[in-house]
Copies of this chain bind each other. A is one copy, B any other.
């Protein structure tokens, strides 16, 4: 018998009407002869509402208490989905963190799953009941409620699927799959039928944020195919998996991503001696400021410029920290620019196709788009460009690589 884990996001359980639709979909999957395990997010808006309550009471609210507070969102939707299922004559049993025995480490607000006891799920299934698991949460070894960080219900869904060795983890959201690029920028964007885990990881980290990164890592590690699809229609979505069929491999570039949340930091005239760069990035890491692209210009004698990017949410802190670090190491100045965008092409086929990066640079140059920084991975090339040219860059690359 096929075992399907269905994970429903916030908009998919966002109202009682949507919750009834979830019950209908579970009913159909069972009628089709499948065993179903459900994982739910909080109703859309609920997590933010709860976070706002806590933050209004204290500038730095206690993290243990914030976790216990926001975990109620998923407990509510798990109970409501179970009630809706029972109302349709389908036995169901909601399970929150301590009942599902999802054991995590003790790092509140961003805990990681250590172990999942599948016994409660198997017991429910054996009784003919659908386990409905509150996503996003677990308990640590002391019984404290923990949460897995934003989007953590995706991680719960895939981790439960891995623990149960499920055939597929269906992730229901309000979009119907992964597109070759942002349809708001480029009307010719097409939905991808299939995509590899690696491509998904590159796309997810680049701003096509439909799936939590960690959930894709777990799916890849345990070989659990993800079917990313919409709960608002019956259309098949995008399969994220390991297998690459012949026709698929022929595609060199799978998608074009754009990220407008980067800030370019340039530190001028750093002394060209060992340890300077380590001091700077060590100082940033200590303050939990993550750095994305890094480029160091050719040294001019004893001095060199260093350029890197940070995210916009870290902009204010980065300015302060880099100015301080700049003084410490003797830089002549620090500049921050947020009028930049990172455009990326992603595709597993790049591995075996030379010249993909060169073609990207030529396509951009033909449109007089200046490239400020470049970073690459095995299956991705990213260029930092002026923000005003980001739409032009996306459309140009989408067309140039034949994705339309």
Contacts and interface: CB of A to CB of B under 8 A. Distances in A.
Interface in A24-65: 50, 53-54, 56-59, 61-62, 64-65
Contacts of A65: 79-80, 82-83, 86, 92, 94
27 contacts: A16-B53, A54-B79, A54-B83, A57-B80, A57-B83, A57-B84, A58-B86, A62-B82, A62-B83, A64-B93, A64-B94, A65-B79, A65-B94, A66-B79, A68-B75, A68-B78, A68-B94, A68-B96, A69-B75, A69-B80, A71-B75, A72-B72, A72-B76, A96-B145, A98-B143, A99-B143, A99-B144
Interface in A204-262: none
Given A58-B83, A62-B92, A72-B72, 12 more contacts: A53-B80, A54-B79, A58-B84, A58-B87, A62-B83, A65-B79, A65-B82, A65-B83, A65-B86, A68-B96, A69-B80, A96-B145
A87 B60 CA distance: 8
A94 B65 CA distance: 7
A98 B99 CA distance: 10
A61 B92 CA distance: 12
A19 interface: yes
Contacts of A387: none
If over half of A's interface residues share one DSSP class (helix, strand or loop), that class is named, otherwise mixed; here it is helix
Given A19-B57, A143-B99, A75 B78 contact: no
A69 B82 CA distance: 10
